[in-house]
Chains A and B, each alone.
Chain A
Amino acid sequence: MDINEELVKQIAENSRLVLTEDEVKEFKKEFKETLEHFSNIQNADIQEEPAFHPIKLKNHTNNDNIEPENCLTQEEALSNVKQTYEGYIKGPKVIK
């Protein structure tokens, strides 16, 4: 499995992470070892359809009812937010 530093940086970028150069080197080595092991799965002879869950699930829809006792108030929903503005969550800037 060819894991190079560029690929590790690309994976980090897709994961919304920034790595130090030392981390890039360390993860490159570890990912190579780990993925070499996991890659054995590509040789498996499997005819089955993929199982995305271990049991068969039925589609589930809730009744379209408003249940105030099961809803958070605006105050509760914002209680863990450090920066708010007039009942909104204040986030970082989105235009450079």
Chain B
Amino acid sequence: MSAKNHINLVNNGNIDIEEFTKETINKLKTLNEEYTFMSVITEELAKQQAKQIKNKINQGKKLPLAGLFITVKDCLCIKDIETKSSSKILEGYKPKFDATIIKRLKEAGAIILGKTIQDEFGFGSFSVNTGINIPIPKNPLDKNASAGGSSGGCGVATALLEKEGIPHISIAESTGGSIEAPASFCGVIGLCPTYGKVSRYGLISYANSLDKIGVMGNNTKDVMQIFEKISGKDEKDSTSKQEFGFHMEQNDLEDMERVKGFKIGVLKEGFSEKIKPEIKKTVKSKIEEIESFGIKTEEISLPFLEEYGLSAYYVIAMSEASTNLSCLTGLRYGKQDIKPNEYFSDYFKRIRSESFGKEAKRRIMLGTFTRMAGYRDAYYIKAAKARAKIIKEYKKLFEKYDIIISPTMPFLPQKFEEIEKLKPIDHYMADLLTVGPNLAGMPHLSYPVFKEKNPSGIMITADHDNEDKIFMLSNLMDKLKGGRENV
């Protein structure tokens, strides 16, 4: 059932939302035992919200997201609910405030089911870098394969709850591909909006200049509806944009004449030897479908991004991460274990060394290195210059094209046994196609494409603030050949 239909039924009193919430929580618990994707299931909060919604509806009120179920990536603060970015160092931390987007969702009548497991602080593309003693989410289509990362738990929740017929949306976050990778691996839609379009207040930062909160769902209209609710200026986030939030009328979304007039650039680098043949074949088939609708496509190239994008992204992301995580010293929240007479510097080093996982240590150290005297200009400043050139390269293309498309990930969901053999640099290479729009802050969406039950994604990228074009093309794909069925 679509979110819209469910919300209408709840608002009209045709669904007993308290009862439905209890059933949903029970199903979620059972699924979580099998797929380990939830960090916390917020049973009491969800039941309390359901009761409040029912009372309001009985009083004749209508709520824009009445009774829509939401899961939230663990890096987003929910008042009085353990929030730890899947890290041991934040174990037990219960924020005393809601992130702005959580506040907006609660006010709109959405019901929060819980927090989802991720790579620790977002440090990964496969959700295998969860913190110490935190389980790894399993792919709903193959339990021996990765769900993608870092928002892996969000991807699993989105795919599984759809199968159970539970109207649900997941709130995820991307720094360099963390919404797109799990969307591609789990076979769902993942939207990463323009940088600054959604307030980051209440987000545990990975890299401030790259972090974007987005949405995962199973059809374009549901994703768009939630994006409308969470976007828009917030005084508490100085980087949130001055404009009002996103809004699009139904008629505009369905304007097929305008979609037919789109000029689409197909990224040449998305079909290079670095991309697995099965991915190229599947995505090409989908592009042919789009062309058969009458939309013109042309091959385009982003050569500078191809050459330097991955390096620029990782240098900036790790540099920012190393400063962001310096506040985690076991003093004000999370893991705390001060021994009598322990000198402060020794304590900080001990608690951090005991509590960060290996990938977190790796990224903190690499980011510290790229900012150290003597190396800063060669790495961090050079990467920031490269980002400026990459943005310019994109902007030039968007003068001519409405949309750029490419595959989302270079390969199908990887098996855990294959991932174990990879070196850190091989992990970073997984973000080959997603770092571009993330570095440039361009909105993009991964749309699922299946071939013989194997999920992959086609990535739709547009210029800053052009989410409307992305939704129009995604909505068209919902209609083509039965949407996400086999191509």
| Given A49-B385, A55-B195, A92-B342, CB of A79 within 8 Å of CB of B94 | yes
In the complex, what distance in Å separates the CA atom of A77 from the CA atom of B382? Answer: 40
In the complex, what distance in Å separates the CA atom of A92 from the CA atom of B343? Answer: 6
Across the interface, which residues of B come within 8 angstroms of A72, CB to CB? 96-97
Across the interface, which residues of A come within 8 angstroms of B347, CB to CB? 92
Name A's interface SS: loop
Across the interface, which residues of B come within 8 angstroms of A83, CB to CB? 336, 338
Report the minimal beta-carbon distance from A78 to chain B, rounded to whole angstroms.
9
| Given A11-B368, A38-B311, CB of A17 within 8 Å of CB of B352 | yes
| Given A17-B349, A40-B307, CB of A53 within 8 Å of CB of B239 | yes
Across the interface, which residues of A come within 8 angstroms of B97, CB to CB? 72
User: Is the CB–CB distance between A80 and B332 below 8 Å?
Assistant: yes
Question: Which of B195, B348, B385 contacts A54, CB < 8 Å?
Answer: B195
User: Is the CB–CB distance between A48 and B336 below 8 Å?
Assistant: no
Across the interface, which residues of A come within 8 angstroms of B344, CB to CB? 91-94
User: Is the CB–CB distance between A91 and B338 below 8 Å?
Assistant: yes
User: Is the CB–CB distance between B425 and A33 below 8 Å?
Assistant: yes
In the complex formed, the residue of B with least CB distance to A72 is B96
Which of B32-40, B133-141, B387-395 makes up part of the contact surface? B387-395
In the complex, what distance in Å separates the CA atom of A54 from the CA atom of B175? Answer: 12
Which residues, 404 to 445 on B, are CB-close (under 8 Å) to A?
423-425, 428, 439-442
Q: Does A30 contact B (CB under 8 A)?
A: yes
In the complex, what distance in Å separates the CA atom of A94 from the CA atom of B210? Answer: 36
Which of B180-188, B290-298, B359-367 makes up part of the contact surface? B359-367
Q: Does B333 contact A (CB under 8 A)?
A: yes
Q: Does B383 contact A (CB under 8 A)?
A: yes
User: Is the CB–CB distance between A55 and B96 below 8 Å?
Assistant: no
Which residues, 65 to 93 on A, are CB-close (under 8 Å) to B?
72, 76-77, 79-83, 89-93
* Interface-centre pick from A38, A79, A96 (highest chain B CB count, 10 A): A38
In the complex, what distance in Å separates the CA atom of A89 from the CA atom of B94? Answer: 17
In the complex, what distance in Å separates the CA atom of A41 from the CA atom of B295? Answer: 37
Report the minimal beta-carbon distance from B234 to chain A, rounded to whole angstroms.
11
- Residues of chain A touching chain B, judged by Cβ–Cβ distance below 8 Å, are 8, 11-12, 14-19, 23, 27, 30-31, 33-35, 37-42, 44, 46, 48-55, 57-58, 60, 62, 72, 76-77, 79-83, 89-94, 96
The 9 A-B pairs at the shortest CB distance, nearest first, are namely: A54-B441, A50-B384, A48-B388, A51-B388, A80-B333, A60-B238, A76-B96, A92-B347, A92-B344
- Residues of chain B touching chain A, judged by Cβ–Cβ distance below 8 Å, are 92-94, 96-97, 194-196, 209-210, 235, 238-239, 241-242, 304, 307-308, 310-312, 314-315, 322, 326, 329, 331-334, 336, 338, 341-350, 352-353, 356, 361-362, 364-366, 368-370, 372, 378-379, 381-389, 391-392, 423-425, 428, 439-442, 464
